[in-house]
Amino acid sequence: MLTKKRYSVQQMFWWTRWEVLGFVLFALVVAWMYESLGFTFLKVPWTPVALIGTAVAFIVGFQNNSAYGRIWEARKIWGGVVNTSRTWGMKIKDMVTNEHALEPVEESVLNDLIKRFVYRHIAWLTALRYAMREHKSWEVFEEHRTNKEWSKMIHIPERVTALGDELLHYLTQEERDYIMTKKNKAAAILFLQSRYLRELKEKGIIWHFSFLELENVLEEMFTLQGKSERIKNFPYPRQYATLANYFVWVFIILLPFGIVPEFAKIGMTFSDSFPFISKYFTWLAVPFCAAVSWVFHTMERIGRVGENPFEGTSNDVPISTIARGIEIDLLQLIDEKEEFIPAQFPEQLHVQM
């Protein structure tokens, strides 16, 4: 997610530079044919062009609102992941005790049990963010030339290191091998957490009431994971996305044929007073057409790249940064040694990953 306003504006113009060039050239060709070659029949009444523009504005606005809604919902879900993770760390730390233990164990053993639960939770966060970064067939961000350029300049953590290697930092070799055999690895880790909770409950190290409380926290994690998977696995309806793209291009193609004659007509109204300006006034339609086309196309494109909030674009939810922030918080809360606490993922091009 972009963190600096100025850079966002600069990136926007650089991001759409090829489209801007195309809009200018297209409007320039239409103006040249109309003004220099005398093809005055190349005109479309302004009223239908304006009506199409109004319809396009509505459908693009709907697309952008829907895309923003998906991004905002994803952000709220991962905000819930943050809160639930802290709750998990607090309850695990205070509910794994010898108070009701059938056979009390040493304090170092309790601390190790707490540590294992926290590390398995971090493994769940890791598996979940890797699942959210998996490519889906409808995620087409990198098919565009400038999007591909941007992707090459940044390094999404989940595409740099394999999940299996990452899980070795948080799970035992046996646990890791077990998890890697499952399709839904994040869910498998939560099942593993529940199994260990039950074992400790049977030994009395976790009180029955505490066991129910911790199971409720796991249930909330399942709920948040399911909500996140729903956004990931259910695309923005393609009929709306496709129609918006087609309608924008219809409007952009018709626009010069409506604007160029209008500018020529305006130029004729002051030909007696300002003959020099009147002579070249038609050419002012070129930057005007390019500006209007750029606005409509950029709004539609923003909506398109915002449809999938976990792809790894500059406007997506920074799940890698969020997960690493939770990891740092939890490890500090259990008094892990400083050398074992990883650093936060750095911003890249003023973008959080």
**What's the pLDDT tens digit per position in 211-249?**
999 999 999 999 999 999 999 998 877 777 788 888 999
349 located within any domain? no
pLDDT score at 8:
60
347 located within any domain? no
Phi/psi of residue 150, each to 5°?
Answer: -65, -40
pLDDT, one tens digit per residue, over 308-325 is: 888 877 778 899 999 999
Task: Check residues 212 and 14 and name the one with the higher pLDDT.
Answer: 212
Task: Check residues 51 and 282 and name the one with the higher pLDDT.
Answer: 51
Spatial separation of the C-alpha atoms in residues 174 and 158, rounded to whole Å: 22
The residue range of the domain holding 304 is: 5-340
The residues near 157 (Cβ < 8 Å, ≥ 6 apart) are 320, 345, 353
297 located within any domain? yes
Question: What value, to the nearest 5°, has the Cα angle with vertex 69 and ends 229 and 139?
Answer: 50
CB atoms within 10 A of CB 230: 12
148 located within any domain? yes
Question: What value, to the nearest 5°, has the Cα angle with vertex 242 and ends 258 and 247?
Answer: 10
242 located within any domain? yes
Residue type, 6: R
Q: Are 300 and 251 in contact (CB under 8 A)?
A: no
155 located within any domain? yes
pLDDT, one tens digit per residue, over 260-273 is: 888 888 777 776 67
Q: What are all long-range contacts of 278-282, with beta carbons under 8 Å and residues at least 24 apart?
A: 282/31, 282/34, 282/35
Spatial separation of the C-alpha atoms in residues 24 and 27, rounded to whole Å: 5
Spatial separation of the C-alpha atoms in residues 241 and 64, rounded to whole Å: 10
**pLDDT exceeds cutoff 80 at 90:** yes
**pLDDT exceeds cutoff 60 at 1:** no
pLDDT, one tens digit per residue, over 21-38 is: 999 999 999 989 988 887
**By percentage, how much of the chain surpasses pLDDT 90?**
49
pLDDT bucket at 285, cuts 50 / 70 / 90? confident
Chain position carrying tokens 């004729």: 268
Least Cα distance to 132 among 305, 318, 306 occurs for 318
Give 310's DSSP letter. Answer: T
**pLDDT exceeds cutoff 70 at 133:** yes
Q: Are 316 and 310 in contact (CB under 8 A)?
A: yes
From residue 296, alpha-carbon distances to 27, 175, 243 in Å are 15, 51, 14
273 located within any domain? yes
Backbone region of residue 99 per phi and psi (left: phi > 0; alpha: psi in -120 to 50; beta: other values): alpha
345 located within any domain? no
Spatial separation of the C-alpha atoms in residues 272 and 278, rounded to whole Å: 8
Structural domains counted in the chain: 1
- Three-state DSSP at 234 gives coil
pLDDT, one tens digit per residue, over 179-191 is: 999 999 999 999 9
Spatial separation of the C-alpha atoms in residues 261 and 264, rounded to whole Å: 5
pLDDT score at 173:
95
CB atoms within 10 A of CB 226: 11
